[in-house]
Amino acid sequence: MNRLIGLVIMLAPLGALAEPGIPALTVETSAEGSQSYTLTIQVLAIMTLFTLLPAVLLTMTSFTRVIIVLAILRQALGTPQSPPNQVLLGLALFLTLFIMSPVLSTAWTDGVEPYMDGQTEAVEALQISTGPFREFMMQQTRDTDLALFSRIAGDAVFETPEDVPLSLLVPAFVTSELKTAFQIGFLVFIPFLIIDLVVASVLMSMGMMMLSPMLISLPFKIMLFVLVDGWALLMETMAASFFV
């Protein structure tokens, strides 16, 4: 988490991070002896930047794919309130940190630490820190999505991945993540859909049309999910989908 906060600070406006040390408060004494307190623009910039942290988490990491698959799983099980939203968000967050740990470690070691030690300038450190995120997003982004946003923006064909601007790469990455998440969700949904169809057919053949099929199929779906160790399989599948 400290690495993530450090990376967020690195994304502050370059002019505000011209020096490694950021004075938080300035006290000025007038000729009459009175004192005035001034909050520096650097602190205001960082405080404003922290409000963008959820957007960075959603658009530049694996969080989007993970949370969508978990939400589809809950819908497939037929338990809209279990697990609760807080549990799903917490699980998605920590699984995202697990998946993104190599990226965060590389960005921290190569970009943030040298900048905090005064070995590099802010511009160079920012470029180095965003490099691992750019590489991660390029690996997960489909060429068709990159071509789509490049065509919309009217840009020419890029020769190397480093030539792709973040303003184009991020929406293409999010679009690819949405597609992949729904593909995984489709595969997760199929077994539970089959159980619902079988239960509904059996109840219909028995003339029990007033009994809700969802009420009968729910324990069978939960039992199937537990017997196949569904949570472990799902976590392994989602984590492995980023390292193929």
Which of 213 and 69 is assigned the larger pLDDT?
69
pLDDT of residue 68: 92
pLDDT of residue 26: 53
pLDDT of residue 30: 53
- HEC letters along the chain: CHHHHHHHHHCCCHHHHCCCCCCCEEEEECCCCCEEEEECHHHHHHHHHHCCHHHHHHHCCCHHHHHHHHHHHHHHHCCCCCCCHHHHHHHHHHHHHHHHHHHHHHHHHHHHHHHHCCCCCHHHHHHHHHHHHHHHHHHHCCHHHHHHHHHHHCCCCCCCHHHCCHHHHHHHHHHHHHHHHHHHHHHHHHHHHHHHHHHHHHHHHCCCCCCCHHHHHHHHHHHHHHHCCHHHHHHHHHHHCCCC
pLDDT of residue 56: 72
Q: Residues 6-27: pLDDT tens digits?
A: 544 444 443 344 444 445 455 5
